[in-house]
Amino acid sequence: MVNLEQFSARDPRVEIFVSEDAAFQNVATRLTSVISGSLTLRHDSNIVLSAGNSITKILGHLSKADVEWTRVHWFLADERYVPISDQQSNRLQIEKILRQTLGPEFGEVLTADTTLSPSDAARDYASRIAAVNMFDLCVLSMGDDGHVASLFPKSSTFGSQDLCCAVYDSPKPPGQRITMTTKAFASIPNRWLLAVGSKKARAVSEYIRDNRAPVRQFDPTMIIADQAAYR
C-alpha cells in the first residue's frame, strides 16, 4: 500500500513557500550556508546540481561577498549530448549564470565530456565522481513531467548499478544525454528537490501517490516548494 503521507504537504521534509521567488531565495541562502560551513572544514566544497530555469534563478540569488567561490566545484547531475558551445548545453547555461552573478571566479563547473561517445562519456564522468571524497549537497529541480536530472518516468536507467549512464531515448530533446543515477545520488547525504510553479502540480500529485516516480527514486531529504505546486 502506498503511504499517502510520503512527500505530501504534511511530510516534515516538505517546506512550502508563498511564492517561487521566496523559495528561490531560501534555497540560495541555505546553499550558501552549506558551502560556507564546508569551506571552514575543508579546502573545497563539492556540489551536485541540475540545470534548468529554477536552478539558474537560485544561482542568480547568490552573492559574491558571502563565500570564496573559487573553492567550489559544481558537478552537473546530467548533461545533454551536445558540444559545450551549443545553447542546449547544461554546462554553458550554468557557467553563464554563475559568471553573471559571481563574476569570473565562480569556481569550477564539471560535467560529462561530450567529445566522447555517450557510453564513454558516462564511464569517464563516473570515474571522476567516484574520485570525489565527499559531496556536500545535491540540488535538483523537477521537470513538468516529473523527471529529475535525465531520469524520466519509466526510464530504463532506474536500477542501474553505475554512477552515471548514457540515455539514448530521452522524451525531451536532445534524445541523447549523460546522467548521474539514483545510485550516485543515494551516496550524497543531503538531497534537495525544488518543485515550484503551477506546471509542477500534476507531477507533485504523482510522486505523492506513486513510489515509482523519479522523485521517489531520488528520495530527497528535503523538498522546497511553493503553494502553486502544492495546491
Exposed, middle or buried: residue 180 (CB in 10 Å: 0-12, 13-18, 19+)? buried
Sign of CA dihedral 77, 80, 82, 88: negative
For 4, other C-beta atoms within 10 Å of its C-beta total 10
Cα gap 172→143, rounded to integer Å = 10
Q: Measuring CA to CA, which residue among 207, 189, 203, 202 is closest to residue 48?
A: 189
Greatest pairwise CA separation for the chain in angstroms? 51
Condensed to tens digits (0 to 9), the pLDDT of residues 59-105 reads: 999 999 889 999 999 999 999 999 999 999 999 999 999 999 999 99
Q: Which helix (H) or strand (E) holds 186?
A: helix 182-186
Residues lower than pLDDT 70 in the chain:
1-4
Q: SS3 for 173?
A: coil
pLDDT at res. 157: 83
Question: Domain residues of the chain, as ranges?
Answer: 14-226
Q: List, in sequence order, every residue forming a beta bridge with 80; answer none if it has no partner.
A: 177
pLDDT at res. 5: 76
Which CATH architecture is the domain 14-226 placed in? 3-Layer(aba) Sandwich (3.40)
Q: List, in sequence order, every residue forming a beta bridge with 175; answer none if it has no partner.
A: none
pLDDT at res. 1: 38
pLDDT at res. 158: 84
pLDDT at res. 199: 97
| Cβ atoms 102, 74 nearer than 8 A | no
Per DSSP, helices labelled H in 67-173 are 90-102, 118-130
Q: List, in sequence order, every residue forming a beta bridge with 141; answer none if it has no partner.
A: 194
pLDDT at res. 2: 45
> Residues with Cβ < 8 Å from 43, sequence gap 6 or more?
71
pLDDT at res. 114: 98
Residue 45 region, left (φ>0) first, then alpha (ψ -120 to 50), else beta?
beta
pLDDT at res. 203: 98
- To the question of pTM greater than 0.75 for the whole model, the response is yes
